Amino acid sequence: MSESITQIPESGEIAGYKAGQRLAFLGIIISAGLAFIKLAGGIFTHSTSLSADGFESASDVLASAIIWSGMAIARRPADQKFPYGYGRAESLAGKTVATILLMSAVLLATHSYHRLSGPVIALPNWILAPLALSFILKGWLAVQKFTTGKRIRSSALVADSGNDAVDMLSAAVAAGAIGLNLLDPARFSYADPVGGLLVSLIIFCLGINIFWRTSEELMDVMPNNDLVDQVRRVANSDEAVLGVEKCFGRKSGTQFFFDLHIEVDPLMTVSDAHSVAHRVKDAILHECPFTRDVLVHVEPYPPSGS
C-alpha cells in the first residue's frame, strides 16, 4: 500500500529561492565588470597572471548565468512529463559549470606554459588594483551565496559560492606572482606566467570538486544521516508505527524525495493502514521542511521470515 502527496513549497522557501536567483544575477554583473577590467589590464600590460584571472572571471559570467537559469528551471512545478519536478536542473547547472571550469583551466595552463618561454615583460604598479578589487567583491559574494545556498539547500548556489571563494584565492596568487615580479624583475622574471599556471591549477581543482558533488546528486546519493534520522524519528512517533524498515532519499533541487517502509500490526484493516500512511506522510512533510514528497509503503510487523 502506498500514498503520495505532493508538498506545495512554502512562501518563505520561494522568497529564499528568489534571493538566491538575485545573488546569481548580481554575480553575473560583478563578474562581467571584473572580467573586463582584468582582461583589458592584462592585454595592455601583457600580464599572464592578470589575463588568467580575467579569463577566470569571464568564465564566471557564463557560470553564474547557467546557475541562474538552472535555479529558474528548477522552480517549475511538476507536470505530466516531469512528475518529480524540475529540481535536477540545479544539478545539471552545477555539472555544466564544472565542465566550463575544467576546460578553462586547461586553456589557461596551456597559455601560461607558452608564456614561460616568452620574453620578460616589465609590469606597472597599478596592475595590482584590479586584483585587490576582485578579492574584496568576490569575498562578499562568496559569503552571501554560501549562507543563502545553505539556507535554501541550493547545491548550485553553494557551488557558485565556492567558485567565488576560489576567485579570491586566484586573485591572491596572481597578486603574489605580480608582486614578486615588481619587487625584483630580474630575479622573478617568470613569476607572472608561473602565477598563471597556479591559477589554472586552482580552477581545475575546483572544477573536479563541483563535478564530483553534482555527479553524486544525479546518481541519487543518500542524504546525510541527520536528515534520514529526522525522517525516521517523525515516522516512528506515530503510535501505530511499530518500526521503520527502510528509509531511502534522493535530492532534487533544494529538497528531497523519500521512500519509506513502515511496519504496522498485521491484523490492521486496509482502511486503517491507509490512514496511518496518510498521518506519517503529513507529519514528515510538516516537520521536515527539506522534504518535497514521501512515498509510504506499509508492511506487516514483524516482517515475514523473522
Q: Which tops the pLDDT comparison, 234 or 53?
A: 234
Half-sphere exposure of 183 (CA within 13 A, CB side): 11
Residue 242 has phi, psi (to 5 degrees) of: -95, -10
Q: What percent of the chain has pLDDT over 70?
A: 90
Q: pLDDT tens for residues 231-286? A: 999 999 999 999 998 999 998 877 899 999 999 999 999 999 999 999 999 999 99
Domain 225-300 CATH superfamily: Cation efflux protein, cytoplasmic domain (3.30.70.1350)
User: Which stretches of 228-284 are assigned E, i.e. beta strand?
Assistant: 243-252, 255-264
**Section 64-72 average pLDDT:** 78
pLDDT grade, residue 80 (50/70/90)? confident
Q: Which tops the pLDDT comparison, 65 or 7?
A: 65
Q: Read off the DSSP letter of residue 76.
A: S
Of 76-80, 87-91, 190-194, 220-224, where does mean pLDDT reach its minimum? Answer: 190-194
DSSP-assigned beta bridge partners for residue 257: 250, 293
For residue 34, pLDDT over 80 is answered with: yes
What's the rounded Cα separation, in Å, for the pair 248 and 282? 17
Angle at 53 between CA 98 and CA 45, to 5 degrees: 155
Of 5-9, 55-59, 119-123, 199-203, where does mean pLDDT reach its minimum? Answer: 5-9
Domain ranges of the chain: 2-218, 225-300
Q: Read off the DSSP letter of residue 222.
A: P
**Cβ pair 259, 223 in contact under 8 A:** no
Q: pLDDT tens for residues 139-161? A: 898 888 888 877 776 766 777 78
pLDDT grade, residue 13 (50/70/90)? low
What's the rounded Cα separation, in Å, for the pair 293 and 306? 30
Helix (H, G, I), strand (E, B) or coil at 271: helix
Residue 109 has phi, psi (to 5 degrees) of: -65, -40
Give the per-residue pLDDT at 38: 82
Q: Do domains 2-218 and 225-300 have the same CATH topology?
A: no
Q: Is the bond leading into 130 cis (omega within 30 degrees of zero)? A: no
Q: pLDDT tens for residues 178-187? A: 788 788 777 7
Contacts 24+ apart (CB under 8 A), 262-271: 262/235, 262/296, 262/297, 262/298, 262/299, 263/298, 263/299, 263/300, 263/301, 263/302, 263/303, 264/240, 264/298, 264/299, 264/300, 264/301, 265/240, 265/300, 265/301, 266/300, 266/301, 268/240, 270/1
For residue 57, pLDDT over 50 is answered with: yes
How much is the mean pLDDT over the chain?
81
Give the per-residue pLDDT at 112: 75
**Cβ pair 155, 214 in contact under 8 A:** yes
Write the CA distances from 114 to 111, 187, 190, 212, 213, integer angstroms. 5, 20, 11, 30, 33
2-218 maps to CATH 3.40.50.300? no
For residue 105, pLDDT over 90 is answered with: no
Give the per-residue pLDDT at 304: 59
